[in-house]
Amino acid sequence: MTIEAINPATDEVIGRYEEHSPSDVNQIIQAADHTFQQWRRTEFAERASKMRQAAQILRSKARDYGELMAREMGKPVKDGIAEAQKCAWVCDYYADHAEKFLAPEFIETDASESFVSYQPLGVVLAVMPWNFPFWQVFRFAAPALMAGNTALLKHASNVPGCALAIERIFQDSGFPEHAFRTLLIGSHQVTAVIEHPLVRAVTLTGSTRAGQAVAQKAGEMLKKTVLELGGSDPYLVLADADLELAVATCVQSRLINSGQSCIAAKRFIVVESQLAAFTERFVARMSAVSMGDPLDEATEVGPQARRDLRDELHEQVAQSVAKGATCLLGGKIPDGAGAYYPPTVLTNVKPGMPAYEEELFGPVAAIIAVADEEEAIYVANDSVFGLGAAVFTRDIERGQRIATERLEAGACFVNTFVKSDPRLPFGGIKESGYGRELSHFGIKEFVNIKTVYVK
């Protein structure tokens, strides 16, 4: 079978790749396991040297990688360049800190010596999405490789060029040839990879449905999983919020990656006293955004990654409007080539509408009016998702209390937008998944936390 890469800005086929056969996949897995037996014994200093070289390559070729992302999934090129640079950061971070994070932890007991040792698991499969085709991979791969594991990547089928470019980065950085391998396979082959006895764990970033399927199979095989799934992040705008800050931040977060981000702001929960002013300013900012060719430096919103995804988003908008939502901006598929969808603003959003209940994976904002702080918190938590959340208030102690104690999400921010940072754990609760990436928590997900007790 052939995997095609299609430019979502032009609908043109820009690459064709032969899919790996089951025999090819088996050979790659065996090679990755063979490499693991050697890689796990390398010193941290050697691993770190190679990881820093990967960071150097990412920085030196950031524009090339940004243009590749623009062509394969429509990311505005300036965002793709920034993404490559962020990947370099996570490589350097784990090169600097992995040895400390995984150092033996000595614990006083009645033994002559007892401690916790962190040992790698083996071959880890990563099933990754297209929306951040480099960052999603590196935030897994950097800690996994620094811990002594080897990695297999099953990337989204619309970004095969990105997948192979990442494999090349690790090989050009001096990692063993099979320490990181890309599997050019469709979703139909993932089950067999999870079942393979040499694959020890699985991490997936993607939809809730995909996470359920992978978790079910991995659970059947008793293999560790980390899942980072969908999100419908609420941003609470309270009565005492700095309105200019809130509007600017909310628009920026809603349009990150042309709206295609699990942690993009999706539901804007605004108290009545701020509603009219917030909505007016929000619509004005959204309408001023530049949508166009992702290879143009001036473009802020590019096409959606695929036409079918664009059409699904439009259907969610249409159903919400049919159920009583008001479309103040956008909401129409533009004429011409490409999977474009304009910045869109919906108001009068209520329970039962897709804009209230579901994740809108694109540049569509749902404004939800509430009476006060308590109702805002209730609406924020009235979701099957729990990835990120933000609250805007001039009372910092109040905002911190709400973020810490009241909001049901894995990452809660005050007066700024939700983002991932190598220094902080990242992940969700409820249908947004489980486990954590990044920080010292992330590198400990795929190790054997081993007790050693010496009498």
Q: Which residues pair with 426 in a beta bridge?
A: 437
Residues marked active site are found at 228, 262
Only one residue has tokens 């190790």, namely: 447
The two most distant CA atoms of the chain are separated, in Å, by 75
Query: Rounded distance, CA 203 to CA 126, Å?
Result: 5
Query: Rounded distance, CA 202 to CA 208, Å?
Result: 15
Query: Rounded distance, CA 48 to CA 51, Å?
Result: 5
DSSP letter at 333 equals P
Edge-to-edge strands, sheet with 150-154:
180-182, 150-154, 123-127, 199-205, 224-228, 433-434
Q: Dihedral through CA 63, CA 145, CA 228, CA 75, nearest 10? A: 10
Query: Rounded distance, CA 165 to CA 150, Å?
Result: 17
Kindly state the tokens that stand for 115: 């401690």
At residue 38, what is the residue type? Q
From residue 209, give the alpha-carbon distance in Å to each of 281, 362, 383, 433: 36, 18, 16, 11
Only one residue has tokens 């997900």, namely: 445
For 229, phi then psi, to 5°, come to -110, -155
At residue 126, what is the residue type? A
The answer to whether residues 454 and 246 touch, using CB atoms and an 8 Å cutoff, is no
Helical pair 62-73 and 44-60, crossing angle rounded to 10 deg: 70
Query: Rounded distance, CA 242 to CA 253, Å?
Result: 16
Query: Rounded distance, CA 110 to CA 66, Å?
Result: 56
The set of residues, in sequence order, having a beta carbon less than 8 Å from that of 355 and lying 6+ positions away, is: 316, 317, 320, 325, 346, 349, 364, 366
Reported residue count of the chain is: 455
The answer to whether residues 314 and 279 touch, using CB atoms and an 8 Å cutoff, is no
Radius of gyration of the CA atoms of the chain, in A: 22
